[in-house]
Amino acid sequence: MTLVDETLGWLADPTHWQGPGGIPVRLAEHVGLSTASLLIALAIALPAGLWIGHTGRGAAFAVNLANLGRALPTLAVIGLVLPLTASLDPQLGFKVYPTLIAMVVLAVPVVLVNTYAGVAGVDRDLVEAGRGMGMDWRALVGRLEVPVALPVIAGGVRSAAVLVVATATIGAVFGSGGLGRFLVEGIAQNDDGMIFGGVVLVAGLAVLTELGFGAIQRALTPRGTG
């Protein structure tokens, strides 16, 4: 009961909603970092996944690479790239880029595997029919494979988005902004209200992300399928 009180008390305190370390700023940092890393991951994983799914070439390589990416602990990725990025830019290279790169590494495999599996899973009879109708590869991918595979692809994007929003908190250990600051500082400062206030905010954002992307995924799923 006291923990609930402390958490609600921390969240209700107006001083926690203002200034450079306040909830709105941390929330904006968190959403900004998550969005940027998701967009970069999509720019890498969508074309790669489409190409592999369409051609069937390099599938084993891509899946293994993706699994390797999943096996890398996020904290290790941050620790590995930090000395390099920090030498390029003392500020962003220390506080932003390492977490950003780690989030891209986290999101790419999820999007890649789903995109590949979605496209590769399109009924071969459909593809053959398309070819028979004289569709070139652009039309095959753009007007046939992608629309049919879209629910599966969107499912991958949704998983990746939720994963990134939840995991981006870890960057706070290395001075990154975002909602993770409340967890790291709350633990160090012995402030349960701050810790669990931060937990509530991160969990809430993850749930909203899940619901939002879920709605998008449903909208993209043709009626009568999925």
Partner 1 sequence: MRFSRALALGASMLALLSACSTGGGSTTIKIGSDGFDEARVMAEVYAQALEANGFTVDRAGIGLGGRKVTTPALESGQIDLKPEYIGSGLAYYDATKTTGDPAANRTALQAILDGKGGGITVLDYTPAQDTNAFVVRKETADQFTLAKLSDLTAVQDQLKWGLATDCPTNPVCAAALKSAYGIAPKDVTLLDACSTPMAQALAAKTVDVAELCSTSPEIIVNGWVRLEDDKATQPADNIAPIVRNDLLAKLDKTKFEKVLNDVSAKIDTATLAELYKEVTVDKKDAKDVAKAWLTANGFVK
Residues that bind partner 1 (CB under 8 A): 82-83, 86-87, 90-91, 93-95, 173-175, 181, 184-185, 187-191
User: Under DSSP, is residue 11 helix (H, G, I), strand (E, B) or coil?
Assistant: helix
* Beta strand segments in 14-56, E: none
Residue whose CB is less far from partner 1, 55 or 91 = 91
User: Under DSSP, is residue 108 helix (H, G, I), strand (E, B) or coil?
Assistant: helix
Residue whose CB is less far from partner 1, 10 or 174 = 174
Tokens of 81: 């790239």
Burial class (CB in 10 A: 0-12, 13-18, 19+), 193: buried
Residue whose CB is less far from partner 1, 84 or 208 = 84
In angstroms, give the least distance from the CB of 85 to partner 1. 9
In angstroms, give the least distance from the CB of 8 to partner 1. 20
In angstroms, give the least distance from the CB of 51 to partner 1. 38
User: Under DSSP, is residue 191 helix (H, G, I), strand (E, B) or coil?
Assistant: coil
Instruction: Note whether 207 and 162 are within 8 A (CB).
Output: no
Residue whose CB is less far from partner 1, 39 or 187 = 187
CA dihedral 132, 137, 141, 142 (to 10 degrees): -100
